[in-house]
Amino acid sequence: MAHPALDPATARVLISNDDGIHAPGLKVLEKVARRLFREVWVVAPESEQSAASHSLTMRRPLYLRPAGRRRFTVDGTPTDCVLIAIHQVLKDRPPDLVLSGINRGGNLGEDATYSGTVAAAMEGTLLGIRSVALSQLYADGGEAPWATADRWCEEVIRRLSDFEWPKGVLLNVNIPAVSAAEVLGIEITRQGRHKIGGTMIEGVDPRGKPYFWIAGERQQDKGLAGTDLAAVHAGAVSITPFCLELTHKASMGALAALFR
């Protein structure tokens, strides 16, 4: 079963992210979405929630605050934002599309499982809405090339309006760290895998206690052919379809035999 076609003239679009309401990538995505769709809403975290994954805030109340026309903040995670947007802000009519991002930095390989950007799209998908996570890579020490994000996120989202979107599938889009003109094109990829290690710093705090600090970004990693990592390394936009069904079906027979 697939979603009905997306009509840009009538579609209602919800935007969220994990970098927070003030993030430059959110503003880029709002601009892109407003060029493509008539009705765009933003419900984004009040503060940065990168690596929040799919966490839900359950032990304290959440506050929804206005932040402009059709714009709100929530003092919670990206998942909280999408839930409150769909159950409260847009309860008269659910959105036809959820866009999450544009994240500052890639969400490639297993990093997608930590990502708050991807989680907002996961939540949209669980609530039955077609959803896209968008991330812009950047070179070490530099600002993200937002003009590249602007040009290529528009291209991807515009062309997706013809996609026969299966239920339960979200799209993880990564834009390479090159100028808009240098992008080689769009590749459909599978989720890759980074090399292991090298992401933690050890130190001693001012009171003499040793600590560990997990680094945010991994080394650039070329990845295997056909993966998200390989595509962006080569300078192409990567689109990976994800599903939320986690079952490894091939193992079921052997396990069933073992536990008979």
| Mode of pairing for the β-strands spanning 71-74 and 200-204 | unpaired
| Site stretch for Mn ion (CB under 5 A), options 43-51, 88-96, 140-148, 170-178 | 43-51
The site map against Mn ion for 118-157 (x = CB under 5 A) is: ----------------------------------------
Nearer to Mn ion, 103 or 238 (CB): 103
Q: Total number of residues binding Mn ion (CB under 5 A)?
A: 4
Q: Name residues contacting Mn ion, limited to 155-174 (CB under 5 A).
A: none
If one asks whether residue 18 binds Mn ion (CB under 5 A), the answer comes out as yes
Q: Give CA–CA dist 132/12, Å, rounded.
A: 14
Nearer to Mn ion, 19 or 46 (CB): 19
| Site stretch for Mn ion (CB under 5 A), options 12-20, 64-72, 85-93, 154-162 | 12-20
Nearer to Mn ion, 77 or 96 (CB): 77
Q: Give CA–CA dist 153/175, Å, rounded.
A: 8
List the one residue from 36, 42, 43, 50 that touches Mn ion (CB under 5 A): 50
Which residue lies nearest Mn ion, judged by its C-beta?
Answer: 50
Instruction: Indicate the length of the chain as a whole number.
Output: 260
List the one residue from 16, 103, 238, 240 that touches Mn ion (CB under 5 A): 103
Rounded (to 5) percent helix, strand, coil in the chain: 30, 25, 45
CB 107 within 8 A of CB 115: yes
- Listed in sequence order, the DSSP H helices in the chain are 24-36, 78-84, 116-126, 146-160, 228-234, 252-258
Residues that bind Mn ion (CB under 5 A): 18-19, 50, 103
